[in-house]
Amino acid sequence: MNRKMRLVPGLILFFASSAFAQEPTPAPSPAPKPAMTRSQSQKTIIATERKLWEAWKNADLKPYKAYLSADSVMIGDSGVANKTDSMNQMSIRASRMQCAGAKPCHPRYGPAAPT
């Protein structure tokens, strides 16, 4: 019995010290608000897509140069192309679209000079 009485204060001290040693869990931080709402980002995406589509139809490369990042990669029929290669391919396509008129035209170099 005497031996059990010595063990009780030791156990109480052990459990009390382990209870005080625990750190309280931090309160969760509130989630940050997005920079724009879902509808705002959808409107921005749609407007950008329309600009690029009109530029594609009109063979205008300026919006593509503005929107493509320097490290962009395009994958197509001819393989993988970086921004420079993509812009070269688009300029060839643009010159072909301009050649669709009545003027004689070389597909690689654009419309022929007027005679």
Q: 3-state SS of 41-64?
A: HHHHHHHHHHHHHHHHHCCCCHHH
Q: Among residues 44, 87, 93, 51, which one has the least CA distance to residue 69?
A: 87
Tokens 């990669």 belong to which residue? Answer: 73
- Half-sphere exposure of residue 104: CA atoms within 13 angstroms, side-chain side: 4
The per-residue pLDDT for range 9-60, each reduced to its tens digit, is 777 777 777 666 667 777 788 888 878 889 999 999 999 999 988 888 887 8
51 in a structural domain: yes
Task: Note down the domain range covering 76.
Answer: 38-108
Q: How far is it, in rounded angstroms, from Cα 23 to Cα 18?
A: 10
Into how many domains does the chain fold? 1
- Residue 16 lies inside a defined structural domain of this protein: no
Q: What are phi and psi of 110, to 5 degrees?
A: 95, -170
The answer to whether position 55 is within a domain reads yes
pLDDT: which is higher, 111 or 82: 82
Q: Is the pLDDT of residue 81 over 70?
A: yes
Residue 21 maps to a domain: no
Per the domain annotation, does 95 fall within a domain?
Answer: yes
Question: Is 64 within a domain?
Answer: yes
**What pLDDT is recorded for position 113?**
47
- Whether 5 maps to a domain, the answer reads no
17: in domain: no
Residue 6's pLDDT band, with cuts at 50, 70 and 90, is: confident
